[in-house]
Structure 1
Amino acid sequence: MTLFDHLVIAFYFAFMVAVGVVFRRFVTDVSDYFRSGGKVLWWMVGSSAFMVSFSAWTFTGAVSKAYADGWPVMTIYVANAVGFLLDALYFAPRFRQLRVITAVEAIRLRFGTVSEQVFTWLQIPLGVLNAGIWLNAIGVFFAAVFGIDPRLTIVVTGLVVLLIALSGGSWAVLASDFMQALILMVVCAAVLAHTLARIGGPAAFAAVVPPGHLDLGQVFTRDFLGLWCLAMLVKQIHTTNNLYDAVRYLCVKDSRHARWAGWLGAALFLVGIALWFLPPMIARTLLPELGTRFPQLAHPEEAAYIAIAREVLPVGMMGLLASAIFAATMSSMDSGLNKNAGVFVKNFYQPWLRPQATDAHLLRVGKLATLAMGVLIVATALEMNELRGLGLFRLMQRVGILIGVPVVVPLFLGLLVKRTPPWSAWSTVLIGFASSLVFSRLLTPDWAVRTFGLEGVLDSAEREYWTQSAQFFANLLTAGTWFLLTRLFWPQTSGADRARIEGFFQRMHTPVDFEREEGPTAARDREQSLAVGWLAVAYGTFIVLLAAIPNPPAGRLTFLASGAVVAAIGGWLIRAAPRPPANDGERA
């Protein structure tokens, strides 16, 4: 990267810290800090929900599959879009209608205090582990591709995320996610446009990429690919629509805005599929020897997106792309950090240690918990170098299947099936973990070859298709069956538990009337629209100024167009901000 690229990255980090400072004044209590008081507009929640649904792994591990095999990896992201569509159609409004500060509070309402503590102490370490994996992965990747010390990347990225979450809490997290979504999509659109221009335009795409990369018939001809696609669809629906991940909609203003946020998330994923995966598919033909370009990478195909971007982008734009890749990880980290700190404070510290604590005290403890978990995530990432041997694609998918699936099954089914006893959730997790241990050893690719009488030897992709899909469906069927069987014990459920569960479902199905519940002056529509709008205008102006970097006319035009789009969206938010009441104009 050039000096210009490094300056762009430095500005990006400074800008993200500034976002946290801007939204510091929005935080007045614990509800503001952990769920923005339930006052956020749909466009900020939808973009944040979109951003936290993936990490930099998309630009490394997932891209490597698009480079090597073509379309199958897109299944995961189509499934994400389907999950968001289900949010818009059903789940998102109901999540907001739970009217809780943390998702684990909703778990307590549905399954009781024992399940509350089980999921608290499952999710906090799992959240730290996942964030450590993401942070370590981006450190290792940037070290190999750009020659940046991985420890420096880990520490700086972790510090910036921590500052964002500490300063402005959930408000700053959501605003930074919106800005990062803008940057990400605009830069990726530039990569796609320049890549298509390099091959002669969109019409040449089908002729350039390897034929197998677009062959949908592989579902019927390649061993276990169809099974894997189905597994990914069902898996992402569960991981998008469950009680714990309901946290993404707890902060939205009302039921209507929650539904719109779901529509926005689905649309962004559908657009993202083209932006993220068409360039590496083209790179397979234009840059067939990534191993010689990146000999230091154990899996050179993980650099496919960076490689094609280097080939086509103007000077300075790689800094924006690096910022976008940072954004993909930072958005997942800051949301997870804020979420886990909220769970610790509201679901352990307050009920068990300080039941009479004041709101101001809980806010201080929340910031201390955020600081402690941020430091722990950075320390975890610094100690994870031994995980480099397993490709990022396999690592993330296996962690999600072996650990994540047993956790989300009861939190998904618990929204749809009412008459299960309180212990149905934590017992399902135990059964799911046990099935993970058993089936990961039994349902091997070699077992599949013997059992199904397959001819020949499975290639590495087919072995991975079988491993992931078999383990997923084994976990899903075992855990799901157990959860449904617990309905047999509903008659033994106490009257108090039945009343609590009935109250949970009644609350979940009661639409939010914001003005009646929060008060006519509680909304912060104008303030958030103006704050984010001016931030977008500022960053868009910065991108426009990058057109001064020495580049061919097409390169300068790319900066002008990209900056104009970001600034225009900011201008739209400013223009759309509600006018203040006549007697409150001075506050505007």
Structure 2
Amino acid sequence: MSTLDWIVLLGTLFLIIIYGIYKSRGSRNISQYLKGDNSLKWGTIGLSVMATQASAITFLSTPGQAYESGMTFVQNYFGLPIAIIIVAAIFIPIYYKLNVYTAYEYLESRFDLKTRLLGAFLFLVQRGLAAGITIYAPAIILSTMLGWDLTYTILFTGILVVVYTVSGGTKAVSITQKYQMAVIMLGMFTAFFIIISYLPESVSFANALHVAGRMGKLDVVDFSFDPEKRYTIWTGLTGGFFLALSYFGTDQSQVQRYMGAKSVAESRLGLIFNALLKVPMQFFILLVGVMVFVFYQFEEPPVFFKTVEMEQLRTSEYGNDVKDLEERYSANFAEKKSNIQSLVTALDADNEVDIANYSELVKQNKDTEKAIRNDVKGLLKDYDENIETKDSDYVFLTFIVTYLPEGVVGLLLAVIFSAAMSSSSGELNALGSTTSVDFYKRLIKKEASDKHYVIVSKLLTAFWGVLSVSFALFASLLENLIEAVNILGSIFYGVILGYFSLLSLSNILEEMPFSLQLSSLKL
């Protein structure tokens, strides 16, 4: 990295953090610390909710997901807008009516203390693990690509997050997240337009889309009922819906974001903001990954994107085998590039015969490339069976550090760190508040001063920060990080959503006229 990149990276991070701490100074009571004194507007709420969900995993792993598998992953979010509308209509009014600090206080009011503690405990386990992954995600990849020490990289990210989350509470988290999202989107749009500018002069953006489509990267919607396929419109509208409903409606990391709003209306507007923009944002991030894929059809990519492992393999007893595979890989790439350029010419001429012929040749080259990559991965496993051979998380960062100009590299690294910190800060803030309100205040010390509870909340937030950083050291066992977080969430969210759904249904029935309640029971 150049000096300019370091200035952009560190300057961006520290300016946002210092501003957030400055704007949130003076939290003297528990309401100010945990709910921002209900002073946040819908725009800040909306960006804060989005930033908490969109971690560094989103901006590192999602482009790699598109590079490897295309746009189908966006279907995972198709149920999200429907879920958010339900949360805005049902959950938010209940939380405001009860004036709760955490979502799990609601469980005790409808069931009992044991139910509240179980819900809070499930959240602490699930979100505590996820917070570790969101810190680990940028650290492992940045340390590998840039030669940074992994431990120091994790500590750098973790310490920054803990400092401003502990010092400023919910308001500091929301304010910093607003500006972190601005940096994130600026960086992603900058990367997108630079990728387009790097394509050969003969390849327009429309040509790039045609090439991506011919190579199976633009299949957005899949109506298949094949249970072997992870992402289809049906899994998005069902699994994605229930995952989003539980996440936005019952996960304290999200509930705490919109409970800091001035009113029910401001909270609802902040969530609807996400309902309108979340799917387009994910679509755009995947499109960035697809454009990186198209770029690498004209510029030879590495045969394997984890450079450290490849260097180790080249110097091992498998060195000659690797050399042979890389030579075959380069020869196949040259042939594929020629066929793609001919395909672009055929597309411009609207020559259906040549389009079909060259599309088939490109497909054959793609199959050969995949086979060579699999042979390389096999050698890596023979060399060291503990090496993780899934390298899609390294695709986007490889492009950033290899091809982007000075200054822009620092900006994109600031994007990755900002995303990591914005998501982690929301999680730690929620973990601290849940532990202090649902366990400490409810079970250990029911009556104390506001100052006491603020201090305890800060200490518990710091505790979860230390625990999350510690867990980050074990996250290397996971493959694709964006999938890992969704899988982890699905394990816990179903149970928690079941609690809250039963409660919401009982509330609705209680507010019905008696005659309608009888009709519902008959049904």
TM range (shorter): 0.7 to 0.9
Amino acid aligned to 1:234:
F
Cα drift, residue 87 of structure 1: 4.2
| Cα distance in structure 2, aligned partners of 1:361 and 1:217 | 53
Q: Deviations over 1:493-523 (max 9, x none)?
A: xxxxxxxxxxxxxxxxxxxxxxxxxxxxxxx
Q: Deviations over 1:86-138 (max 9, x none)?
A: 44555445544442122222222233211111122222232221111221222
Identify the range of structure 1 (373-382 vs 166-175) with the bigger mean alpha-carbon deviation.
Answer: 373-382
| Cα distance in structure 2, aligned partners of 1:221 and 1:243 | 30
The aligned counterpart of 2:306 is: 294
* Matching of residue 220 in structure 1 with residue 224 in structure 2: yes
| Cα distance in structure 1, aligned partners of 2:208 and 2:85 | 29
The aligned counterpart of 1:244 is: 251
Which of residues 190, 204, 209 in structure 2 aligns to 1:206? 209
The aligned counterpart of 1:283 is: 292
The aligned counterpart of 2:138 is: 138
Q: Is the 8 A contact 2:83 2:242 kept in 1?
A: no
Amino acid aligned to 1:136:
Y
Cα drift, residue 30 of structure 1: 0.4
The alpha-carbon distance between structure 1 residues 373 and 215, as it changes in their structure 2 partners (threshold 3 A), is closer
| Cα distance in structure 2, aligned partners of 1:196 and 1:360 | 54
With the length of structure 2 as denominator, give the TM-score of the two structures: 0.74
Identity among equivalent positions (%) equals 23
* Matching of residue 358 in structure 1 with residue 361 in structure 2: no
Runs of at least 5 residues in structure 2 that lack an aligned partner in the other structure: 310-388, 511-519
| Cα distance in structure 1, aligned partners of 2:302 and 2:177 | 32
Q: Is the 8 A contact 1:209 1:281 kept in 2?
A: yes
| Cα distance in structure 2, aligned partners of 1:111 and 1:312 | 57
The aligned counterpart of 1:414 is: 503
Q: Is the 8 A contact 1:78 1:270 kept in 2?
A: yes
Cα drift, residue 359 of structure 1: 1.1
Amino acid aligned to 1:387:
L
* Matching of residue 321 in structure 1 with residue 389 in structure 2: no
Alignment of 1:145-294 (within 5 A): 145-199=145-199, 201-211=204-214, 212-216=216-220, 218-220=222-224, 224=229, 225-226=231-232, 227-245=234-252, 246-287=255-296, 289-294=301-306
The aligned counterpart of 1:396 is: 485
| Cα distance in structure 2, aligned partners of 1:240 and 1:121 | 15
Q: Give the alignment's Cα RMSD to 1 decimal.
A: 2.7
Partner SS, residue 126 of structure 2: helix
Q: Is the 8 A contact 1:27 1:171 kept in 2?
A: no
Partner SS, residue 307 of structure 2: coil
Cα drift, residue 312 of structure 1: 5.7
The alpha-carbon distance between structure 1 residues 358 and 89, as it changes in their structure 2 partners (threshold 3 A), is closer
Identify the range of structure 1 (12-21 vs 196-205) with the bigger mean alpha-carbon deviation.
Answer: 196-205
Partner SS, residue 148 of structure 1: coil
Cα drift, residue 47 of structure 1: 0.4
Q: Is the 8 A contact 2:83 2:241 kept in 1?
A: no
Runs of at least 5 residues in structure 1 that lack an aligned partner in the other structure: 422-486, 489-588
| Cα distance in structure 2, aligned partners of 1:268 and 1:228 | 20
Q: Deviations over 1:455-501 (max 9, x none)?
A: xxxxxxxxxxxxxxxxxxxxxxxxxxxxxxxx99xxxxxxxxxxxxx
Q: Deviations over 1:161-186 (max 9, x none)?
A: 11111111111000011011111111
Cα drift, residue 31 of structure 1: 0.8
Amino acid aligned to 1:294:
K
With the length of structure 1 as denominator, give the TM-score of the two structures: 0.66
The aligned counterpart of 2:343 is: none
Cα drift, residue 85 of structure 1: 4.4
Q: Is the 8 A contact 1:290 1:300 kept in 2?
A: no
* Matching of residue 9 in structure 1 with residue 6 in structure 2: no
Cα drift, residue 293 of structure 1: 4.5
Q: Is the 8 A contact 2:180 2:418 kept in 1?
A: yes
The aligned counterpart of 2:347 is: none
Structure number with the bigger relative contact order (C-alpha 8 A, sep ≥ 6) is 2
Amino acid aligned to 2:486:
Q
Identify the range of structure 1 (118-127 vs 92-101) with the bigger mean alpha-carbon deviation.
Answer: 92-101
